[in-house]
């Protein structure tokens, strides 16, 4: 066992699956993962924004063990407490009137469920999502995903009646505008879709990430979200917030929508919900949920007893330890240190973020994306015990997304490694 894993994997694990690093981990605890050869790393990827309490959080493991001792699986044959308890907790923390949930296993699967609900409830077929967004890899979710054409290559034709408006990713505006003097042409483009391509009466839903994730870690200008919310409300279009990456405290609130006072009709969540146990959900008001009949959607594993119990424990731990506040506070601290670094290092073109969802964009002297520069930085960070991963269509945005319970000392240590690795 151990260090021949890469070679063994080559024989039996599909090459389609790409790993961000070659580290073979035997043990992980809190912020740290330990490789088979005994090296410790600070995991500033949180296993893709999922281990929000750090790796293997004791309270969550305890909840899993307790649940495993009594019931592991139901397959929708019988009811059990952990799923209901989780739905009750989610009703407390989700924005607006959302109080009813469907549980699935992954982000993409929950997106599929959300768009099925929207189509069923409205009797309309059209869907609008935003260029640059990432919503998953299953065929429906992939149709909404445009963070990179690479994800879609070889899979056409995708779902029909899906349209895309530019995501308001202002640093690299797809319409070539500069935020300080633009008139939100991205929103006008969206209106244009409804004028020229699909009439509003045919649109079931718009799907948007309240903070752009995979596509570049970029919070949008609030005004665009207000207008999109209003446009949907005026036209009976359901607004779906994809909070798969931005949810569960990542941005310093339970959900990023809260930063904007945004009340989506449907909210989609996964990743941080259960500290790494496979679980996702989409939620809506009971009024909306009751528009699709029993049997309209289903699942064997979704919301299984163990994952549900770990999600309850995750929510309770975030509350008990004040981790939303810690995420907001440490995020602001990191942003201020990064802004100082920007003054010293020309390779940093832009810094943005909410809470502990922070993007640092690497640029060449002419402002174009510097993918190679970021690769070098990630390599140096790795050598010095810090895991940083990238995102953005140009793969030139470092995303800093440590666990919500990261301490000031750990943040300082990580940022020092980061700065030392900068040219
Ligand atoms: C915003 C968003 N939506 C959906 C997904 C898909 O989630 P999963 O990989 O669990 O299917 C992701 C994954 O990164 C995501 O970031």
- Tell me the mean pLDDT in the region 405-416: 98
Is the model's pLDDT at 223 over the cut of 80?
yes
Do both 347 and 208 map to the same domain?
A: no
Ligand 1 closest atom vs CA 108: 11
Do both 78 and 41 map to the same domain?
A: no
Q: Are 228 and 190 in contact (CB under 8 A)?
A: yes
Is the model's pLDDT at 1 over the cut of 60?
no
Do both 336 and 385 map to the same domain?
A: yes
Do both 50 and 70 map to the same domain?
A: no
- Tell me the mean pLDDT in the region 137-154: 97
Distance from first CA to last CA of the chain, Å, rounded?
38
Helix orientation angle between 323-344 and 408-420, rounded to the nearest 10 degrees: 20
Q: Which helix (H) or strand (E) holds 11?
A: helix 5-12
CATH code: domain of residue 345: 3.90.1150.10
Is the model's pLDDT at 189 over the cut of 80?
yes
Using the 3D structure, point to which of 262, 296, 320 is the last residue of a domain. 320
Q: Is 245 in the pocket of ligand 1 (CB under 6 A)?
A: yes
Do both 82 and 45 map to the same domain?
A: no
Do both 31 and 112 map to the same domain?
A: no
Q: Is 213 in the pocket of ligand 1 (CB under 6 A)?
A: yes
Given pLDDT bands bounded at 50, 70 and 90, which one contains residue 309? very high
pLDDT of residue 34: 96
Q: Are strands 126-131 and 203-208 parallel, antiparallel or unpaired?
A: parallel
Sign of CA dihedral 110, 115, 118, 121: negative
CA-based nearest residue to 240, from 138, 121, 115, 363:
115
CATH code: domain of residue 223: 3.40.640.10
Do both 94 and 83 map to the same domain?
A: yes
Q: What is the pLDDT of residues 249-298, one digit of tens each?
A: 999 999 999 999 999 999 999 999 999 999 999 999 999 999 999 999 99
Is the model's pLDDT at 2 over the cut of 70?
no
Given pLDDT bands bounded at 50, 70 and 90, which one contains residue 4? confident
Three-state SS at 39: coil
Tell me the CB-side half-sphere exposure of residue 119, using CA atoms within 13 A.
16
Q: Is 274 in the pocket of ligand 1 (CB under 6 A)?
A: no
CA distance 404 to 358: 13
Per-residue tokens: 281: 């959900």
- Tell me the mean pLDDT in the region 169-183: 94
Nearest-CA residue for atom 3 of ligand 1: 135
The residues with which 41 forms a beta bridge, in sequence order, are 33
Do both 336 and 277 map to the same domain?
A: no
Sign of CA dihedral 129, 400, 180, 226: positive
Q: Is 386 in the pocket of ligand 1 (CB under 6 A)?
A: no
Strand order in the sheet with 25-29: 25-29, 32-35, 40-43, 386-387
CA of 355 to the centre of ligand 1 (A): 19
Do both 37 and 66 map to the same domain?
A: no
Q: Which of 50, 143, 214 to mutate to test the pocket of ligand 1 (most atoms within 8 A of CB)?
A: 214
pTM for the model stands at 0.97
Per-residue tokens: 352: 């943005």
Given pLDDT bands bounded at 50, 70 and 90, which one contains residue 129? very high
Three-state SS at 267: strand
Q: Is 107 in the pocket of ligand 1 (CB under 6 A)?
A: yes
Ligand 1 closest atom vs CA 136: 6
Nearest-CA residue for atom 7 of ligand 1: 107
Give the chain's domain count.
2
Q: Is 209 in the pocket of ligand 1 (CB under 6 A)?
A: yes
CA distance 365 to 349: 9
Mean pLDDT across the chain, nearest whole number?
Answer: 97
Ligand 1 closest atom vs CA 138: 11
CA of 15 to the centre of ligand 1 (A): 20
What would the DSSP string read from start to end of 94-143? SSTT--EEEEESSHHHHHHHHHHHHHHHH---EEEEEET----SSHHHHH
Q: How many residues does the chain have?
A: 423
**Structural domain of 146:** 60-320
Q: What is the pLDDT of residues 99-126, one digit of tens each?
A: 999 999 999 999 999 999 999 999 999 9
Instruction: Read off the DSSP letter of residue 237.
Output: P
Using the 3D structure, point to which of 295, 320, 345 is the last residue of a domain. 320
Tell me the CB-side half-sphere exposure of residue 382, using CA atoms within 13 A.
16
Do both 316 and 344 map to the same domain?
A: no
CA of 340 to the centre of ligand 1 (A): 32
Q: Is 244 in the pocket of ligand 1 (CB under 6 A)?
A: yes
Using the 3D structure, point to which of 258, 286, 320 is the last residue of a domain. 320
Burial class (CB in 10 A: 0-12, 13-18, 19+), 336: exposed
Do both 348 and 398 map to the same domain?
A: yes
Do both 13 and 93 map to the same domain?
A: no
Q: Is 349 in the pocket of ligand 1 (CB under 6 A)?
A: no
């Amino acid at each position: 066992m151990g260090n021949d894993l890469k070679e063994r994997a080559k024989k039996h694990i599909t090459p389609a699956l790409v790993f961000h690093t070659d580290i073979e981990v035997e043990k992980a605890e809190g912020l740290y993962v330990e490789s088979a050869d005994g090296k410790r790393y600070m995991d500033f990827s949180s296993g893709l924004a999922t281990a929000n309490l750090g790796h293997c959080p004791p309270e969550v493991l305890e909840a899993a063990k307790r649940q495993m001792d009594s019931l592991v699986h139901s397959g929708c044959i019988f009811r059990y407490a952990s799923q209901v308890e989780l739905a009750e907790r989610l009703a407390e923390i989700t924005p607006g009137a959302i109080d009813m949930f469907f549980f699935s296993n992954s982000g993409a699967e929950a997106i599929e469920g959300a768009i099925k609900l929207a189509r069923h409830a409205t009797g309309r077929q059209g869907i609008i999502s935003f260029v640059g967004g990432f919503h998953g890899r299953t065929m429906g979710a992939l149709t909404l995903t445009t963070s990179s054409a690479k994800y879609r290559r070889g899979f056409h034709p995708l779902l029909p009646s899906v349209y895309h408006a530019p995501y308001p990713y202002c640093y690299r505006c797809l319409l070539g505008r500069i935020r300080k003097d633009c008139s939100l042409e991205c929103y006008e483009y969206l209106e244009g879709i409804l004028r020229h391509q699909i009439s509003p009466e045919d649109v079931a839903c718009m799907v948007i990430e309240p903070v752009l994730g995979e596509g570049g870690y970029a919070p949008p200008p609030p005004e665009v979200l207000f207008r999109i919310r209003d446009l949907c409300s005026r036209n009976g279009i359901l607004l779906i917030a994809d909070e798969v990456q931005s949810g569960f405290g990542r941005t310093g609130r339970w959900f990023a929508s809260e930063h904007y006072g945004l009340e989506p009709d449907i909210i989609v969540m996964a990743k941080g919900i259960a500290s790494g146990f496979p679980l996702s959900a989409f939620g809506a008001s009971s009024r909306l949920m009751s528009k699709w009949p029993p049997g309209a959607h289903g699942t064997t594993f979704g919301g299984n007893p163990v994952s549900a119990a770990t999600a309850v424990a995750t929510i309770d731990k975030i509350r008990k330890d004040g981790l939303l506040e810690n995420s907001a506070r440490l995020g602001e601290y990191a942003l201020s240190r990064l802004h100082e670094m920007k003054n010293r290092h020309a390779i940093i073109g832009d810094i943005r973020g909410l809470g502990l969802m922070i993007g640092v964009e690497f640029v060449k002297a002419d402002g174009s994306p510097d993918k190679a520069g970021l690769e070098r930085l990630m390599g140096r960070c790795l050598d010095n015990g810090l895991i940083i991963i990238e995102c953005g269509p140009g793969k030139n945005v470092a995303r800093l997304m440590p666990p919500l319970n990261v301490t000031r000392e750990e943040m300082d240590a990580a940022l020092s490694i980061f700065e030392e690795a900068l040219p």
